[in-house]
Chain A
Amino acid sequence: ILNVEQSPQSLHVQEGDSTNFTCSFPSSNFYALHWYRWETAKSPEALFVMTLNGDEKKKGRISATLNTKEGYSYLYIKGSQPEDSATYLCAFMGYNNNDMRFGAGTRLTVKP
């Protein structure tokens, strides 16, 4: 079983705070790393697909970085808003596989 680990498990921040989460994954056999946002009562939606070491992706106030050699990715949210409240999942794909393994997620709550 591939280990994809996320930390912290949950996070409570005030509106306007900036925050970040970590995803760690096997550094060997890397092919792709995905980030998803999963809001309550909805389906997970993709935020970023990252494939190259050193990749940085940005979508509005959310950005992500990737280090494939050491096996970690960071997701940053700048100026958190209540609508950012969700569970953020990362998923790892190995080079010789077609499967996607998810971490357990970071549950973010942004208080107004």
Chain B
Amino acid sequence: DVKVTQSSRYLVKRTGEKVFLECVQDMDHENMFWYRQDPGLGLRLIYFSYDVKMKEKGDIPEGYSVSREKKERFSLILESASTNQTSMYLCASSSRGGGKLFFGSGTQLSVL
């Protein structure tokens, strides 16, 4: 079974904390993505990566950074968590060339 695994299903953090969300895929995919999902807004792209050590900003990168040191792992970092970053975060991966996305099960992050 192919898999995209996100490290935590639920996470509660305090304002100002540094938060790491980890995502690992076992399909040797080149592309990896981080989205957040908020009611009525659908999936909004935060960052994506099309190769190791490569990263591109999506539509809402402010307050986030990413790291891709290995092909299978794509980390999302909240440098200083804020309450408006409370959301569901979804990681996805795909092969190069427009292949379908495979999603992780999501991390529901609450920032208090």
Which A residues are closer than 8 A to B by beta carbons? 1, 6, 9, 31-32, 34, 36, 42-46, 49, 51, 89, 91, 93, 98-105
Contact = CB atoms under 8 A, between A and B. Distances in A.
Nearest to A95: B98
Nearest to B56: A99
Interface stretch (B14-22, B40-48, B63-71, B73-81): B40-48
A80 B35 CA distance: 29
Interface residues of B, number: 28
B33 A99 contact: yes
A100 B42 contact: no
Contacts of B102: 46
Contact of B43 (A32, A45, A51, A89): A89
Interface string B27-67: 00011010100001111110010100000101100000000
Nearest to A4: B42
A98 B48 contact: yes
A21 to B, nearest CB: 13
Nearest to A44: B103
Nearest to B60: A1
8 contacts: A1-B59, A31-B98, A43-B105, A44-B43, A46-B102, A89-B42, A93-B98, A99-B58
A78 B6 CA distance: 35
